[in-house]
């Protein structure tokens, strides 16, 4: 995503200059010819041959005298790539191929060299790592180390039988990996999506990446799609946003979310992974909805996957969702025939619903009271929409409606309706 540079230790070459002392200048030799005597002056005797003659002497250097040498240091990483190549087995060399170019010294913190099927990298932090094969090809397609970063591992085996290499951008900020499988090819997984993928058990449990990490159309989030173990098509995803982090959506819940328009639809982004319902049978994901009210998709083997959203979803959560009195949704949110309200039906005991209008809010109705209301014609009956949930009354239980009441009498089990007083 962002180009980065790793801080490297600088080892500058140092040259020691030694001052060489010049030898002393030679003294002048005395003349061997004396001046001729004049007049009666007696000539002085000539010097004898035994008289010492001054000479110039220069000491020879002894064997123990130090000889100046250069202390220039090798550049960082010199020879490391070649040493790594030479240390490989014959099988490993066959996998990477032969060198096809000279070693490139990008700077003091990065060296690399191309081989037939691989590229070797050296940095002070990683020493020599190798990216090879189809992962190497995808790495080059994505922009190489300028875009993806440098490999921080060799190619490794993943938990589900695939292969991967890890990378880090040169400033050390963005961590990513390129995964390869024969089923999906090679794809890059980045940052928090990668972290969550590995937390979920990697390809052994969540499947193989089937796309690179991409930005969502609104640029608010990022995602990868996956092919789950045993599947032949993309049936899982991890979506990330800054507010909610990375969350996984899969299977029938994912299909329902996709049909609703993904994150651009009324459900918004996932804010949880797929979770198990309190009864241990069903599954559900929560979503951020419209940002004011929550949303969710709830699945069970008997009902399939259905969505709840807005004020209805809020009321459903207040009533403990699939673990509460309403049970599992059996419909998505639907509009009433008069266009005035919205509703969801649920399994509940004896059937259950939540109905909403802007004037009445969202209220649940279930059991015998709901059966009586349905018998009368639902909201099109004289009672209209519910204005309360079911509550205790002296004779049993009741729900209030716009224009009346339905009561359940505990002593007789009778359910009666009456207009408002």
Full 3-state SS string of 132-162 = EHHHHHHHHHCCHHHHCCEECCCCEECCCCC
Please check whether residue 367 is in contact with residue 350, taking contact to mean a CB–CB distance below 8 angstroms: yes
Largest CA-CA distance found in the chain, in angstroms, rounded: 177
Q: Is the pLDDT of residue 69 over 60?
A: no
Cα–chain-centroid distance for residue 402? 52
Half-sphere exposure of 61 (CA within 13 A, CB side): 9
Using one digit for the tens of pLDDT, what is the confidence trace for 238-270?
A: 999 999 999 999 999 999 999 999 999 999 999
Averaged over 30-57, what is the pLDDT?
38
The residues that bridge with 366 in the sheet, in sequence order, are 352
133: helix, coil or strand? helix
Quick one: pLDDT at residue 322?
A: 97
DSSP 382: T
Quick one: pLDDT at residue 357?
A: 98
Averaged over 204-225, what is the pLDDT?
97
CA dihedral 188, 191, 193, 195 (to 10 degrees): 110
Please check whether residue 304 is in contact with residue 332, taking contact to mean a CB–CB distance below 8 angstroms: no
Structure tokens at 341: 């309200």
Using one digit for the tens of pLDDT, what is the confidence trace for 275-327?
A: 999 999 999 999 999 999 999 999 999 999 999 999 999 999 999 999 999 99
Please check whether residue 374 is in contact with residue 415, taking contact to mean a CB–CB distance below 8 angstroms: no
Q: Is the pLDDT of residue 158 over 60?
A: yes
217: helix, coil or strand? coil
The residues that bridge with 112 in the sheet, in sequence order, are 104, 121
Quick one: pLDDT at residue 349?
A: 86
H helix runs in 150-292, sequence order = 191-199, 202-205, 251-259
Quick one: pLDDT at residue 64?
A: 52
Quick one: pLDDT at residue 74?
A: 78
Quick one: pLDDT at residue 37?
A: 34
Q: Which residues, other chains included, contact 411 with Cβ-Cβ below 8 Å and sequence gap of 6+?
A: 395, 396
The residues that bridge with 223 in the sheet, in sequence order, are 214, 239
Using one digit for the tens of pLDDT, what is the confidence trace for 340-396?
A: 999 999 999 889 999 999 999 999 999 999 999 999 999 999 999 999 999 999 999
- Report the C-alpha gap between 81 and 362 in whole angstroms: 69
- In this structure, the chain runs to a length of 421
Q: Which residues, other chains included, contact 343 with Cβ-Cβ below 8 Å and sequence gap of 6+?
A: 312, 331, 333, 334, 336, 353, 354, 355, 356
């Amino acid at each position: 995503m962002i180009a980065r540079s790793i801080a490297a230790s600088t080892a500058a070459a140092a040259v020691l200059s030694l001052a060489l002392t010049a030898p002393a200048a030679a003294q002048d030799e005395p003349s061997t010819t004396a001046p001729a005597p004049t007049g009666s002056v007696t000539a002085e005797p000539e010097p004898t041959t035994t008289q010492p003659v001054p000479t110039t002497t220069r000491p020879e250097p002894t064997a123990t005298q130090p000889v100046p040498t250069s202390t220039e240091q090798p550049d960082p990483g010199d020879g490391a790539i070649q040493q790594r190549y030479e240390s490989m087995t014959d099988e490993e060399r066959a996998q990477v191929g032969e060198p096809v170019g000279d070693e490139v010294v990008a700077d003091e913190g990065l060296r690399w060299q191309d081989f037939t099927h691989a590229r070797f990298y050296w940095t002070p932090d990683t020493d020599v790592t190798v990216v090879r094969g189809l992962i190497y090809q995808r790495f080059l397609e994505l922009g190489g180390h300028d875009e993806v970063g440098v490999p921080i591992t060799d190619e490794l085996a993943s938990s589900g039988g695939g292969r991967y290499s890890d990378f880090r951008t040169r400033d050390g900020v963005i961590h990513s990996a390129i995964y390869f499988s024969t089923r999906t090819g090679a794809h890059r997984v980045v940052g928090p999506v990668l972290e969550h993928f590995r937390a979920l058990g990697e390809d052994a449990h969540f499947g193989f990446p089937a796309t690179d990490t991409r930005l969502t159309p609104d640029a608010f989030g990022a995602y990868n799609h996956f092919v789950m173990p045993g599947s032949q098509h993309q049936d899982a995803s991890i979506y990330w946003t800054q507010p909610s982090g990375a969350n996984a959506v899969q299977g029938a819940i994912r299909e329902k979310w996709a049909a609703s328009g993904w994150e651009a639809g009324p459900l918004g982004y996932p804010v949880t992974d797929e979770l198990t319902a309190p009864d241990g049978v069903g599954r559900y994901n929560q979503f951020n909805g419209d940002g004011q009210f929550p949303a969710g998709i709830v699945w069970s083997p008997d009902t399939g996957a259905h969505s709840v959203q807005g004020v209805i979803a809020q009321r459903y959560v207040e009533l403990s969702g699939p673990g509460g009195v309403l049970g599992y949704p059996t419909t998505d949110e639907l509009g009433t025939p008069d266009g005035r309200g919205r509703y969801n039906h649920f399994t509940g005991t004896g059937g259950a619903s939540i109905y909403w209008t802007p004037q009445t809010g969202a209220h649940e109705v279930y059991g015998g009271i709901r059966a009586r209301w349905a018998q009368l014609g639902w909201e099109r009956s004289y009672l209209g929409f519910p204005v309360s949930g079911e509550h205790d009354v002296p004779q049993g239980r009741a729900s209030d409606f716009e224009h009346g009441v339905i009561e359940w009498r505990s002593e007789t089990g009778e359910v009666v309706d009456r207009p408002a007083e």
